[in-house]
Amino acid sequence: MTNTVTVDDKNVAIIDMTIDSKVAKETYDRTLKAIGSNVNIAGFRKGKAPNHIIEKYVGVDRIKAEVVDRLFPTEFQKAVDENKLNIAFNPIIENVDFEIGSDLKIKANVELKPQVKIGKYKDLKVEYKEFKNEENALEKELEQTRKRFSKMEKVDRASTKDDVVVFDFEGFVGDEKIEHGDAKNYSLDLANSNFIPGFAEQLIGHKAGEEFSITVKFPDEYHEEKLKGKDATFKIVLHEVKERQLPELNDELAKKAGKDTLDLLKEDIQKYLDNMAKSQNDKVKSDAVFEKIFDTTEIKIQQTMLDREYQAIMTETRENIRRQGGNFDEMVEKEGKDKVEENFKKEAETRIKNSLIVEQIARDAEIKIDQKDLMEHINQMAMMYGMAPSQLFEELRKNPASYAAISQQITANKVNEFLLNNNNFVAK
């Protein structure tokens, strides 16, 4: 095969392929035989019809089309490799000149990724805002452990903000009862309420046996249209007030939390806090160094790439909103069409630029992924989804695009690690 490649001003490579007549004829004959073995032609046993009969029955154009389908992917990849083309999208076949006995000529075009003029990305001095755990972080975590193993005891007194109350309630807007706005023997932690603002606060200071009413206002952004911004009254019957009884901070509590002694529990919590701080600082450092590289990198992204990414973001956003029970069109109307389009376009440009920078650093720094990297990532994904690795592997095999996405993620992780290890970070 021979090929010539020219790149136009829209960063599209036009590839003229010439496949030797002998190769084209051999592939045609094999394709003809394969098709003939699977068709039933009257007067002939299956697979035994002469070639000219099969050509007449199936159609020469169909056979030639299958020949092109067989030859093009391999020959296209050769052209890409030989010319070191950095393709951005799938190729399009523009023209095919195929006469049996002559060379097969295919003209195709493929969009290329833009050139990346990346600045310095190693040995940079990068300032970052350091994250530090609070001085009493250990004490707070120990207190949370006490609360986790606490017991609730009924008390004969007025409720406080730290108590749990058990009550009946019935809600009204005016004289109309609120649909699903009632419950019996409902238990509510007054310190951690997800009720309407002001609801839990009005249950403080009341004793078991009391009957009273409270008034609240539904938020303007409430999910039920007919309740948005409405004033409501709730009739309350308070049955119980419960106080949280915290266990002593000792070895016995540590054993309940899975450690033999209190000292070992403290050591484990401190290790968790230290790891959390390191993880947070690594994230801040990564963002800081990448922002510095981003600002010094020049990329002229063609409009076709931006349009595709814009559409992908819009589809992704629409699906996310649908899953959450929302309406994409209502969101656009509320935010304003121009503002939504501007945000999507900005995000599309940022995503593409980020991706191209990661690819360029990976090439320059010769960062590669191997089978071990792939399997480790799949094992982590399987653990996260609660699946067996083999089961996830089979699912991924059905969707080749998933492997590309995983490879991109692994590459991004390796580039991130490279940047953390090869730059100088100064805490501020």
Strands 298-299 and 116-117, how do they pair? antiparallel
Residue 416: per-residue pLDDT: 96
Least confident of 151-160, 217-226, 249-258: 217-226
Tens of pLDDT, residues 302-339: 999 999 999 999 999 999 999 988 889 988 998 999 99
Q: Quote the pLDDT of residue 164.
A: 96
Q: Rounded to whole angstroms, how far apart are CA atoms 39 and 102?
A: 28
- What's the rounded Cα separation, in Å, for the pair 195 and 197? 6
In a domain, 212, yes or no: yes
Running DSSP on this structure, what letter comes out for residue 246?
P
- Give the mean model confidence (pLDDT) for residues 145-174: 96
Answer yes or no: do 105 and 162 share one domain. Answer: no
Contact between 293 and 119 (Cβ < 8 Å): yes
Three-state DSSP at 242 gives strand
pLDDT of residue 25: 94
pLDDT band at 342; cut points 50, 70, 90: very high
Q: Is residue 99 part of a domain?
A: yes
- Identify the pLDDT of residue 26: 94
Residue 281 lies in a domain: no
Whether pLDDT at 265 is above 80: yes
Share of the chain above pLDDT 70, in %: 100
| pLDDT (0 to 100) of residue 51 | 80
Structural element, H or E, at residue 183: strand 176-189
Give the pLDDT mean for 71-79: 93
The DSSP line for 195-225 is SSTTTGGGGTT--TT-EEEEEEE--TT-SSG
Q: Determine the average pLDDT of the residues in 254-258.
A: 96
Q: 43: left (phi > 0), else alpha (psi -120 to 50), else beta?
A: left
- Residue 104: strand pairing partners: 19
Q: Are residues 156 and 106 in the same domain?
A: no
Q: What amino acid occupies position 418?
A: F
Farthest CA pair distance, the chain: 101
User: Is the pLDDT at 218 greater than 80, yes or no?
Assistant: yes
Please, which residues bridge with residue 241 across strands?
165
User: Is the per-residue pLDDT at 21 higher than 70?
Assistant: yes
Note the pLDDT tens digit of each residue in 188-212: 999 999 999 999 999 999 999 999 9
- 159-170 burial code (b ≥16 CB/10 A, e <16): beeebbbbbebb
Pairing mode of beta strands 125-128, 424-427: parallel
With a cut of 90, say whether residue 113 has pLDDT above it.
Answer: yes
CA neighbor of 171 nearest in space, from 220, 229, 227: 227
Among the three residues 218, 245, 272, which one is the final residue of a domain in this structure?
Answer: 245
Could you tell me the residue range of the domain that residue 56 belongs to? 2-112
Q: Is the pLDDT of residue 48 over 80?
A: no
Residue 43 has pLDDT above 80, yes or no: no
Last residue of a domain, one of 206, 226, 245: 245
Residue 357 lies in a domain: no
pLDDT at 45: 75
183 within a domain of the structure (yes/no)? yes
Cα dihedral 236, 237, 242, 243 in deg (nearest 10): 50
Query: Do residues 234 and 170 touch, judged by C-beta distance below 8 A?
Result: yes
Distance between CA atoms of 263 and 270, rounded to whole angstroms? 11
Task: Report the C-alpha gap between 16 and 3 in whole angstroms.
Answer: 5
- Domain identity same for 98 and 194: no
Within 10 angstroms of residue 37's Cβ, the number of other Cβ atoms is: 12
**Residue 168 within any structural domain of the chain:** yes
Q: Which position has the token pair 């599309």?
A: 348
Contact present, 257 and 145 (Cβ < 8 Å): yes
pLDDT tens string 346-365: 999 999 999 999 999 999 99
Average pLDDT in the 43-66 region? 84
Give me the mean pLDDT over the 26-31 stretch. 92
What is the overall mean pLDDT for the chain? 92
Instruction: Provide the domain count of the chain.
Output: 2
- Evaluate whether 131 touches 280 at the Cβ level (below 8 Å): yes
| CA-based nearest residue to 238, from 167, 186, 188 | 167
131 located within any domain? no
Please indicate, yes or no, if residue 418 is contained in any of the structural domains.
no
Indicate if 206 and 107 belong to the same structural domain.
Answer: no
* Mean pLDDT on 256-277: 97
Question: What is the average pLDDT across 383-408?
Answer: 83
pLDDT > 90? residue 40: no
pLDDT of residue 334: 87
Q: Which of 359, 339, 361, 355 is nearest to 306 (CA)?
A: 355
pLDDT of residue 428: 87
184, 213, 245 - which closes a domain = 245
If residue 238 lies in a helix (H) or strand (E), which one and from where to where?
A: strand 231-245
pLDDT for 1: 64
CA 170-173-176 angle, 5° bins: 80
Identify the CATH number of the domain in which residue 87 sits: 3.30.70.1050
Residue 358 CB partners (closer than 8 Å, separation 6+): 408, 411, 412, 415
Could you tell me which residue, 68 or 44, shows the higher pLDDT? 68
